[in-house]
Chains A and B, each alone.
Chain A
């Protein structure tokens, strides 16, 4: 009790220094907390978009597909597999994909594209393409020769002509001026609307090696914000894709499994592997299907880790400086305590208690501050689109320009625990210093 009282009062003796130390801790923790939560939010958003748009958290495909993706490397018997996989409680849904390459042609241009055959009703559940339709509508299961394309591809194929879009915009100029929406934005939107209903041709090679062409009509235009996707990827109904590529009904290049909670991905992967004949079908985590995205997250996460490490080191340096200065300037006081018969162990405990108080106050306020700053953004999202005129994409994968920082008790506990434990370790040196002082010299020197 006596130690606690001495420690508590001692930290407030030099009030200004203690407050500066605590403020430094709080600021450092708020910044670290926010940036870790933001980084994790970006990664989880990016991963979520990519797995929902492509092959899911767990992907089933031909064992040779990763080596050399080709439309003739298909998997079959999907209906039975899907039924068994969807029975797993962790699984949100499965999705069938037919992936291929082709050339999109229109009267205005020719562009190489990635063709993605999808089940529209499944994609509607959560696909970013469905959510980012800016003109027209998303595909229906019953659609036969319909396609949705990205806004950049629509521009490159000149499906909606600029001069026609300007004419449309001119007609509503008074309203545009009244609404204060930039005229150019309305022109772009008009151009996308004009692209809907236009025809385009997909030329490709089927599983037999024959050149084939298919006339498609644009049903909708999406804009996910990544030029690599908006200018390159098209979606068509899966049956249309099978027909174009000459596949049998029930065949696909990939079967994707989307899990409800990304943390259960490993469990689902293991259980699906048990269900499947792995000689005929590979069951892969998304990290192996999209290795460049996984590598980006790993490298970027590493650099973030270094940044956070430097930040935490700076906080630690401030704390260490305070603890050490506080001990050095009270050496005479400690000499008196030792002279009166205070055991050295009690003196060490007093300094430890001072460190505990500073760390507890700093960590608590810092984590509350970090939580307070991050919470509204975790709920409402942080729109970073203004920072990226060309759209937000990393490593060819679109990320939602509205980032939802990842807020969790685990993060708070990890960060708070790290700073607290580090503070305790840093207090060992001042503790040692305090117990080693030469009592007689100090008492003599002061007289």
Chain B
């Protein structure tokens, strides 16, 4: 299989007052194309930092990161911005939809930035909203949608441009268990049908169980990495 993400000896240190926090301590990791991987671990173990370093939102203090064969750690801000636009999709814990855009416009946003023609955008977005179960809600603004519905829009936005990698930071943390299960079903289905690669950070046992691979972080280091059934936690 082909690697979509590769980390080699990645470290990340933060200064908090006089104290230096070592968020990542020499992480080596490979995520394959089509993977559905979950990064788990206690709070402060470095899950979000790991995702941020992969997406180029945060710069590692040491080590190297490759996404889709390109070394992220050597990229300028504008090249990182292009990489995120074209190769990475995001799903955030707090949904983070653009409040002044409708569900349709939010899902369409990345395609517009990419300059996809209007007709193709429309077909794509309508199809996606149907896929995530939001048909008929295209014109609703985020404030008019429930938490679960907002997260579905966020997932539609993340996969609209068919990115090589979808990074989802605790995507089920802010919704009830039923909605969380439905969202998880959706992402698993998208992984299977569209071969979209998902990398979650999560505390959710269900997400961990249903992922193809589980990576356990502890104190900024990979403690265990393998199939969920083989991981002790």
Are B78 and A343 in touch, CB under 8 angstroms? yes
Are A439 and B85 in touch, CB under 8 angstroms? no
Chain B residues whose C-beta falls within 8 Å of the C-beta of A9 in the assembled complex:
100-101
Is A91 engaged at the interface, CB distance under 8 Å to the other chain? no
Is A311 engaged at the interface, CB distance under 8 Å to the other chain? no
Chain A residues whose C-beta falls within 8 Å of the C-beta of B96 in the assembled complex:
332-333, 336, 443, 446
For residue B108, which residue of chain A has the nearest CB? A2
Q: How far is the CB of B86 from chain A (nearest CB, A)?
A: 7
Is A444 engaged at the interface, CB distance under 8 Å to the other chain? yes
Cβ proximity bits B76-92 to A, threshold 8 Å, 1 near / 0 not: 01100111111010101
Stretch at the interface among B50-58, B186-194, B210-218: B50-58
Are A336 and B92 in touch, CB under 8 angstroms? yes
Are B98 and A337 in touch, CB under 8 angstroms? yes
Stretch at the interface among B29-37, B64-72, B109-117, B126-134: B109-117
Are A338 and B52 in touch, CB under 8 angstroms? no
Is A211 engaged at the interface, CB distance under 8 Å to the other chain? no
Chain B residues whose C-beta falls within 8 Å of the C-beta of A310 in the assembled complex:
none
Known A338-B81, A341-B82, A341-B113: A13·B99 in contact at CB below 8 Å: yes
Chain A residues whose C-beta falls within 8 Å of the C-beta of B55 in the assembled complex:
339
Chain A residues whose C-beta falls within 8 Å of the C-beta of B99 in the assembled complex:
13, 333
Q: Which of A9, A13, A341, A447 has the most CB of B within 10 A?
A: A341
Q: How far is the CB of A215 from chain B (nearest CB, A)?
A: 88
Chain B residues whose C-beta falls within 8 Å of the C-beta of A168 in the assembled complex:
none
Is A342 engaged at the interface, CB distance under 8 Å to the other chain? yes
Complex-state Cα separation, A155 to B170, whole angstroms: 95
Known A447-B169, A447-B170: A340·B84 in contact at CB below 8 Å: yes
Q: Which of B83, B86, B90 has the most CB of A within 10 A?
A: B90
Q: How far is the CB of B139 from chain A (nearest CB, A)?
A: 14
Known A340-B109, A341-B85: A6·B57 in contact at CB below 8 Å: no
Q: Which of B58, B81, B83 has the most CB of A within 10 A?
A: B81
Cβ proximity bits A180-194 to B, threshold 8 Å, 1 near / 0 not: 000000000000000
Q: Which of B52, B98, B105, B113 contacts A440 (CB 8 A)?
A: B52
Chain A residues whose C-beta falls within 8 Å of the C-beta of B81 in the assembled complex:
338, 341-344
Known A340-B85, A343-B78: A333·B109 in contact at CB below 8 Å: no
Q: How far is the CB of B32 from chain A (nearest CB, A)?
A: 23
Are B82 and A443 in touch, CB under 8 angstroms? no
Known A6-B101, A447-B94: A340·B57 in contact at CB below 8 Å: no
Q: How far is the CB of B135 from chain A (nearest CB, A)?
A: 23
Is B48 engaged at the interface, CB distance under 8 Å to the other chain? yes
Complex-state Cα separation, A340 to B88, whole angstroms: 8
Q: How far is the CB of B79 from chain A (nearest CB, A)?
A: 11
Q: How far is the CB of A14 from chain B (nearest CB, A)?
A: 11
Q: Which of B78, B83, B98, B112 contacts A336 (CB 8 A)?
A: B98
Is B28 engaged at the interface, CB distance under 8 Å to the other chain? no
Q: How far is the CB of B169 from chain A (nearest CB, A)?
A: 7
Q: Which of A2, A13, A337, A440 has the most CB of B within 10 A?
A: A440
Q: Can you list 18 A-B contacts with CB-CB less than 8 angstroms, sorted by A residue number?
A: A2-B109, A6-B98, A333-B96, A333-B99, A336-B92, A339-B55, A339-B84, A340-B85, A340-B110, A341-B85, A341-B88, A341-B113, A342-B85, A343-B113, A440-B52, A443-B57, A446-B96, A447-B170
Instruction: Rank and list the top 7 A-B pairs by shortest CB-CB distance, nearest first.
Output: A341-B85, A9-B100, A440-B58, A341-B84, A440-B57, A336-B96, A440-B52
Taking A340-B113, A440-B58, A447-B169 as given, write out 15 further A-B residue pairs in contact, using a Cβ cutoff of 8 Å, ordered by the A residue number: A5-B105, A9-B101, A332-B96, A333-B98, A333-B99, A339-B84, A340-B84, A340-B85, A341-B83, A341-B113, A342-B85, A343-B81, A344-B77, A443-B57, A447-B94
Q: Which residues of B contact A (CB under 8 A)?
A: 48, 52, 55, 57-58, 77-78, 81-86, 88, 90, 92-94, 96, 98-101, 105, 109-110, 112-113, 157, 169-170
Q: Which residues of A contact B (CB under 8 A)?
A: 2, 5-6, 9-10, 13, 332-333, 336-344, 346, 439-440, 443-444, 446-447
